[in-house]
Amino acid sequence: MIFVAIFLGSFFHTTFAVAETRARFLLGAKTEGSHQKPQSIGFYSKGCLAGGVELAPNGPTWQAMRLSRGRNWGHPDMIDYIERVSAEVAKKTRWKGLYVGDISQPRGGPMISGHASHQMGLDADIWLLAAKNLNLTVAERESLSSANMRSGDQRSVSKNWTKQHMKVMEIAAKDRAVDRIFVTPPVKIYMCKHARGNRDWLQKIRPFWGHNYHFHVRLKCPKGDRRCETQKPTVSALSKGGDGCDETLNWWVTDALRPAKPDPNAPKPKPRKHPRQFTMADLPNKCAAVLKSK
């Protein structure tokens, strides 16, 4: 019995120690930004944030949602973007502003749960629920749900979708700081069919899995942040004047929805470590200083 107790104690101690070296627990435990010059370090799905700034829970044209998560922190460029774009939305649409979901943890890095990205303070989830009330209580922001923009058969936008949603995303995409915006595929298809005038901004709107309840804004690396790695452009982005509205969009609402048939001759994918399994050693070297900074 003594041997068993010693063995189990050693096992649990080792398991706990290994878990505690994971970056999501170490960086996720920080409740304040580091006292450093603001800098996005690494990549959107493998990095950290120095000198992070908190988005105020309440603003004249925004409210931060799910405050209990502590994910309303970002690079100053992102905070400025939210303040700037939400004000324009309030001015040019029937919305009073924006409901802002997850941005990043105070020091970025992998999150304890959820996202693989949002690690450098340059990603933000904007709710697709029309912001008609900017006086929500903290409790209401924990319980309120956003609106689903994808139909039950997943092939088109739902009845929740309005022209105001399209205008909000157009405003968000036209900002020069934006690299791309991820949306549920039917939204991109709808926009391609209904956008008028200069359509260059549509190139930034990218279809991707999920994103039924929010659109995901990703900013370019801030000027001068040499340790920040910008996402590579897609093929459509490289073509002059491309808006991403070609026949390949139909794949998302046809073949992508059908069960995949296994191919016995297909090469096995190389195993990849999920961001939630990252240790500090997996992240850029500068992230250790971000973690240790007061």
Between 80 and 266, the more confident residue is: 80
Average pLDDT for 234-248: 67
Beta pairing, strands 46-50 & 39-43: antiparallel
Q: In residues, how long is the chain?
A: 294
DSSP of 19-36, one letter per residue?
HHTBHHHHHHT--S--SS
Q: What is the pLDDT of residue 3?
A: 38
Phi, psi torsion values for 19, nearest 5 degrees = -60, -40
Looking from the CA of 115 toward its CB, the CA atoms found within 13 Å total 26
* Mean pLDDT over each residue of the chain, to the nearest integer: 89
| pLDDT over 90 at 14, yes or no | no
Q: What is the pLDDT of residue 234?
A: 58
pLDDT in tens, 203-220: 999 999 999 999 999 999
Q: What is the pLDDT of residue 157?
A: 97
Q: What is the pLDDT of residue 280?
A: 95
Average pLDDT for 228-256: 78
Average pLDDT for 118-127: 98
Q: SS3 for 274?
A: coil
Q: What is the pLDDT of residue 8?
A: 34
d(CA 194, CA 32): 44
Q: What burial letters (b/e) apply to 199-227, b meaning 16+ CB within 10 Å?
A: bebbbbbbbeeebbbbbbbbbbbbeebeb
Average pLDDT for 56-61: 98
Q: What is the pLDDT of residue 33?
A: 97
Q: 185-194 and 163-174 helices cross at what angle (nearest 10)?
A: 90
Q: What percent of the chain has pLDDT over 90?
A: 76
Q: 116: which strand partners?
A: none
Q: Name the residue with tokens 């709107």.
A: 205
pLDDT in tens, 61-113: 999 999 999 999 999 999 999 999 999 999 999 999 999 999 999 999 999 88
In this structure, how many other beta carbons lie within 10 angstroms of the beta carbon of residue 14? 10
3-state secondary structure 208-269: CCCCCCEEEEEECCCCCCCCECCCCCCHHHHCCCCCCCCHHHHHHHCHHHCCCCCCCCCCCC
| pLDDT over 60 at 281, yes or no | yes
Q: How confident is the model at residue 232 (pLDDT cuts 50, 70, 90)?
A: confident
d(CA 10, CA 6): 6
Phi, psi torsion values for 139, nearest 5 degrees = -65, -40
| pLDDT over 50 at 16, yes or no | no
| pLDDT over 70 at 11, yes or no | no
d(CA 209, CA 259): 15
Instruction: Give residue 6's identity as a one-letter amino acid code.
Output: I
Q: 27 exposed, middle or buried (CB, 10 Å; 0-12, 13-18, 19+)?
A: buried
Cα-atom radius of gyration of the chain, to the nearest Å? 21
| pLDDT over 70 at 173, yes or no | yes
Domains of the chain: 23-234 (3.30.1380.10)
Q: What is the pLDDT of residue 272?
A: 81
Q: 123: which strand partners?
A: 218
Q: SS3 for 116?
A: coil
Helices (H) and strands (E) in the chain, counts: 8, 11
CA 276 to chain centre: 15
Between 42 and 14, the more confident residue is: 42
